[in-house]
Structure 1
Amino acid sequence: MITRRITLAGTAILFLGLLTACGTSDAANDQVKPAGGTGDAINLGPNQNRIHAKKADAIAAKLPEAVRKRGSLTLGVSTGSAPPLNFYATDDKTLIGVELDIATLVADTLGLKPDFQAVSWENLFVGLDSGKFDGVFSNVTVTEERKEKYDFATYRLDELAFEAKKGGDWRVKGPGDVAGKTIAVGSGTNQEEILVDWSMENEKAGRKPVDIKYFQNTTDYYLALQSGRIDAYLGPNPTAAYHVASAGQTEIIGHFSGGGATIQGKIAATTKRGSGLVEAYAAAIDHIVKDGSYAKVLKRWGLSSEAVPKAEINPPGLPKPKN
């Protein structure tokens, strides 16, 4: 995942500067309207008017007593630079995005106040290990390796997307389609592992390997794509879909499960293994799915296609690395 906070100037480049003649911005109202004039305007302001859920006493009772008495959940989110997952509003200090909206609904259902702590990707897990965080809502994929240390309650499908300049006829359906191409990917992510595996597969088949590039934040990827320094960017589908809709200069040329060809990847609320929190999180997610607030949040951010019908506790995850 991305690990550096972008500045307000970076946010402006991503959401306003890249919208030339495509999407339109209304700075006074902190909104960006999707390219083509379809869909609801995207609220980038600090006043999010978040969707809320009502407390469910029976579900709140599943929490450990110490957490109930404290009255709050300390939740880790990765440093905000990956819209629409989590990113900074136009005031450059208020975190917004779909991950925070879903976490807020879960906290509401449990009758607790969410206390969001923004840290770098690797420090999400440090915070869980140390007991600093009650949970993490930050596009974390369930993996077999992570299940050794953490418990998971799923709330979204994990989908990846290749994003390229608009108007070409190149499409990605498998490893051979990226042979010899220059592809950017986030370091330390599941999508990096998939791309590295594909590159090795290409070499074994006598094809050219993938020229893999790494950048520090989202704006760097898109500037490199716009200038032609890379052919495509492989990242989370939500980020790609959001950028395509708002900027109108790129397109999705391939969709894949975050688990690759073997398993459907799933995004989950993550907590320290044995903390006693995962059952409450799963029940809260089931509750917001049933009351409709979950669907409203996904629609708000254009992610209805990633909805799950119910939470799963510690389902089969991405397999452990082969080496």
Structure 2
Amino acid sequence: MFGKTCRTVVTSSTTLLALLALGCAASAQAFDVSRIEVDKELAGRVPDKVRQAGVLVGGSDNDYAPWEYLAGADGQTPEGIDIDIGNAIAARLGLKYESRTAQFTTILPALGTNYDIGMSAFSITEERKKVVNFVSYAETGNEWVIKAGNPAGFDPKNVCGRQIAVQSGSRHEEKLMEVNKACADGGGKEMAILPFKTQTEAVTRVATGGADATITGSATALYAAFKSNKTLETIRPVGDELNVRGLNGIAIAKKDMALTEVISDTLTTLIKDGTYNAILDSWGMGAVGVQKAEINPASDH
């Protein structure tokens, strides 16, 4: 997937600027977890250190909207999908959730010391699983962004000859070049690839009708469409080059299997009672939902 593994960085500021360029709201209210009932059996399994503190501490870079970013009146209040899910898990366990802002690359090494869990849209990879445990909670990949109603008649099965906006230097641009070669080798018309410095500009070009589509990560695409006042929509890519999917996971220290299992079982209850889907839907991200929370699932990465 093209998320935080190969991380063509789409920061919160970039994403929110894209939304502002489309005349959209840049923030969302936190999901209300006050009605979530404590599960006494699960709460009783929380490791003593966490239970005695009464707080589940999560590490997050808080710079990757809509997953996590800083907002609020002071510009320092964590918001986003990861924050809402962290709050929901903590509430089910009778705890409070605290999201601590950290540099992305420093979170995993500090699990078990500075943080109980890592909630920062981590892609689950075989390499990362060697050093931490993961509980899967989302499946992300790539999405085409087009104008609502598809007035350009964009067909993801046949992109040859289309005008495609893309962030310059991104993995998406590399993959489009591969697809363009296939277009030429097959005797078709090549795409007109329109490179832009930021994904902001690429999305805006589509919104204003200057390109047929742009391709970017699920989070950026789905949230931009959700906040665009129905002027944009998304389409799943077709073909091995572009339709790449992968799991995101909540990270826990490798030695802490007890907490890993509690987090997995707690998230499973939230999936079953609809809370999890309600959180994703509140961010327009229902398409990335998973059916179950698995511990250290297999990964292609």
TM-score normalised by length of structure 2: 0.74
Query: Partner of 1:129 in structure 2?
Result: 109
Counterpart CA distance in 1 for 2:221 and 2:155 is 15
Q: Could you tell me whether the CA contact under 8 Å between 2:125 and 2:299 is conserved in 1? A: yes
Question: 2:133 corresponds to which letter in structure 1?
Answer: D
Query: Partner of 1:237 in structure 2?
Result: 218
Query: Partner of 2:287 in structure 1?
Result: 305
Deviation at 1:153, TM superposition (A): 0.7
Q: Could you tell me whether the CA contact under 8 Å between 1:163 and 1:254 is conserved in 2? A: no
Indicate yes or no: 2:72 matched with 1:72.
no
Counterpart CA distance in 2 for 1:241 and 1:270 is 24
Deviation at 1:253, TM superposition (A): 3.9
Indicate yes or no: 2:153 matched with 1:169.
yes
Counterpart CA distance in 1 for 2:44 and 2:239 is 35
Counterpart CA distance in 2 for 1:17 and 1:71 is 41
Indicate yes or no: 2:96 matched with 1:113.
yes
**Where do 1:150-229 residues align within 5 Å?**
150-165=132-147, 167-173=151-157, 177=160, 181-184=164-167, 192=171, 196-197=174-175, 199-200=177-178, 202-203=180-181, 215=197, 219=200, 221-223=202-204, 225=206
Q: Could you tell me whether the CA contact under 8 Å between 2:156 and 2:238 is conserved in 1? A: no
TM-score normalised by length of structure 1: 0.70
Deviation at 1:214, TM superposition (A): 7.2
- 3-state SS, counterpart of residue 129 of structure 2: helix
Change (3 A) 1:86 1:209: same
Counterpart CA distance in 2 for 1:258 and 1:96 is 34
Deviation at 1:105, TM superposition (A): 0.7
Change (3 A) 1:170 1:311: same
Q: Could you tell me whether the CA contact under 8 Å between 1:170 and 1:253 is conserved in 2? A: no
Counterpart CA distance in 2 for 1:66 and 1:259 is 46
RMSD across aligned C-alpha pairs, in angstroms? 3.8
Query: Partner of 2:30 in structure 1?
Result: 48
Query: Partner of 1:28 in structure 2?
Result: none
Change (3 A) 1:17 1:255: same
Query: Partner of 1:143 in structure 2?
Result: 125
Unpaired runs of 5+ residues, structure 2, are none
Deviation at 1:225, TM superposition (A): 4.9
- Paired residues in the alignment total 282
Deviation at 1:151, TM superposition (A): 1.3
Unpaired runs of 5+ residues, structure 1, are 24-31, 33-42
Question: 1:6 corresponds to which letter in structure 2?
Answer: S
Q: Which residue of 6, 31, 38 maps to 2:13?
A: 6
Q: Could you tell me whether the CA contact under 8 Å between 1:160 and 1:258 is conserved in 2? A: no
Change (3 A) 1:201 1:164: closer
- 3-state SS, counterpart of residue 133 of structure 1: coil
Q: Which residue of 270, 276, 285 maps to 2:251?
A: 270
Deviation at 1:143, TM superposition (A): 2.0
- 3-state SS, counterpart of residue 6 of structure 1: helix
Counterpart CA distance in 2 for 1:257 and 1:90 is 40
Deviation at 1:178, TM superposition (A): 8.7
